[in-house]
Structure 1
Amino acid sequence: MPKVQVVNMQGSPVEEIELNELIFGIEPNNSVMHSAVVAQLANARVGTQSALTRSEVRGGGRKPWRQKGTGRARAGTIRSPLWRGGGIVFAPKPRDYSKKLPKKVKRLALCSALSSKVIDNSLIVVDQISFEKPKTKEMVKMLEALKVSKKAMVVLEGCDENNVMTSARNIEGVIISRADTLNVVDLLKYDYVVFTKAAVMKTEEVLSNA
């Protein structure tokens, strides 16, 4: 079982805990993580592009001139794609880009991403994170004590730690996430993942039931 040191907000060791081997101690599967990233980015796309075909363009219901005798090319509507202001040939229409992954594949991808953070020593566990009032300076001070110098994701147990969330919102390269809303893209995007001890337990609970 992988073990990790728990530190306080000043960066001093407090205790050592064992992580669930099936969640934090597996061999990362790069192929599955890639599939999860592709699916998540595809699901974020909004297929709202749209253009009008000749049947949808307003006007053009009458034949502009008679078929023969004018010397001009025959025309049935002024909304032909050949005309200015006409419809678009094979016009793009709203579409669904979403991709679905099996639940077990999603779980494996998350566990692979978490395990890769443990292997890279970029997963930090803090006994608890709490501020008396929202203070960006206090959050910066804590991250410096934890020696987090790059992009970081702070994972909390729930959404009731408003002071922590507000303290981190103005720090560039730092985001706050909940243990039950973890995703592969964010885990791979950020260099460090800072868990509270409660968030680790919540993550193990969520992924054990997945």
Structure 2
Amino acid sequence: MAEVTLYKIDGTKAGSITLDDHLFNIPVSEALVHEAVVYQQANSRTVIAHTKGRGEVRGGGRKPWKQKGTGRARHGSRRSPIWVGGGITFGPTKERNFSTQMNRKARRKALAMVLTDKVVHEFFVAVEQVEVKKGKTKMLKELLSKLPVAEKKTLIVLDVENKEVARAAQNLPNVTTIPVNSLNIVDLLANEYVLISKQTIDTLTNMYKNE
């Protein structure tokens, strides 16, 4: 059974808590984690680049010159891809689809692997509670300074209703907040530390206990 130190809000140790093995103590597969990252990034990708083909470019309705008798090559439109200002052949278009498929259980297993890695390397910090009154950034900064996450890039995992902490973290460049039901592998890997309350750990465990 995996165990982590439980901290009080003042930074002192309050003991330790035992974590669920199905979520925090499983073998890590780099290949599966990589697949999950590619899946999330590809499915959130927005296609912007778009080139116009000869049927989309403005103009070109009239034949540039007659078919015979000019001594020049035959052309039917000024918007042919071989003309300057013509359409583009095989260019990027907005119809491209980068989405991929990945089994839901595999995605969740990959997330559990990253959580396991955070626990093993002591980048998973559990506290009794994460509370900031009136969404004050100064109070959150003071709280974090007393914990192992001080001055580190940190992901704070919150209960859905904890909006005060989310507001307080907006002015801290190294701190990101995320609701527990939106926790994902990309945000976990993008931050060195994970800060989470005991209650949120229980919520997260219950979400994944049947997987």
Using the size of structure 2 for normalisation, the TM-score is: 0.94
Tell me, in whole angstroms, the C-alpha distance in 1 between the residues paired with 2:90 and 2:100. 24
Is 1:16 the counterpart of 2:22? The answer is: no
Is 1:77 the counterpart of 2:77? The answer is: yes
State the shift of 1:113 in Å.
Answer: 0.4
3-state SS of the aligned residue for 1:169? helix
Aligned to 1:31: 31
Aligned to 2:158: 156
Unaligned runs of 5+ in 2: none
Contact 2:125 2:194 in 1 (8 A): yes
Q: C-alpha deviations, 1:123-150, integer Å up to 9, x for none?
A: 0111111122121111111111003131
Q: C-alpha deviations, 1:34-70, integer Å up to 9, x for none?
A: 1111111112211232111112222222212111111
Tell me, in whole angstroms, the C-alpha distance in 1 between the residues paired with 2:97 and 2:154. 32
Tell me, in whole angstroms, the C-alpha distance in 1 between the residues paired with 2:133 and 2:76. 75
Matches within 5 A, 1:48-197: 48-94=48-94, 95-148=96-149, 149-158=151-160, 160-197=161-198
The aligned amino acid for 1:104 is K
Contact 1:156 1:198 in 2 (8 A): no
State the shift of 1:120 in Å.
Answer: 0.3
Tell me, in whole angstroms, the C-alpha distance in 2 between the residues paired with 1:188 and 1:9. 25
The aligned amino acid for 2:165 is V
Tell me, in whole angstroms, the C-alpha distance in 2 between the residues paired with 1:87 and 1:116. 51
Aligned residues: 209
3-state SS of the aligned residue for 1:69? coil
The aligned amino acid for 1:62 is R
State the shift of 1:111 in Å.
Answer: 0.6
Structure 1 segments (4+ residues) deviating >4 Å: none
Tell me, in whole angstroms, the C-alpha distance in 2 between the residues paired with 1:132 and 1:90. 56
Percent identical among aligned pairs is: 39
Tell me, in whole angstroms, the C-alpha distance in 2 between the residues paired with 1:209 and 1:181. 18
> Aligned-pair RMSD on alpha carbons?
1.3
Q: C-alpha deviations, 1:50-100, integer Å up to 9, x for none?
A: 111112222222212111111222111111112222111123212111112
The aligned amino acid for 1:86 is G
Tell me, in whole angstroms, the C-alpha distance in 2 between the residues paired with 1:53 and 1:9. 61
Unaligned runs of 5+ in 1: none
Tell me, in whole angstroms, the C-alpha distance in 1 between the residues paired with 2:55 and 2:173. 49
- Once the two structures are overlaid, the 10-residue window that deviates more, 102-111 or 54-63, is 54-63
3-state SS of the aligned residue for 2:73? coil
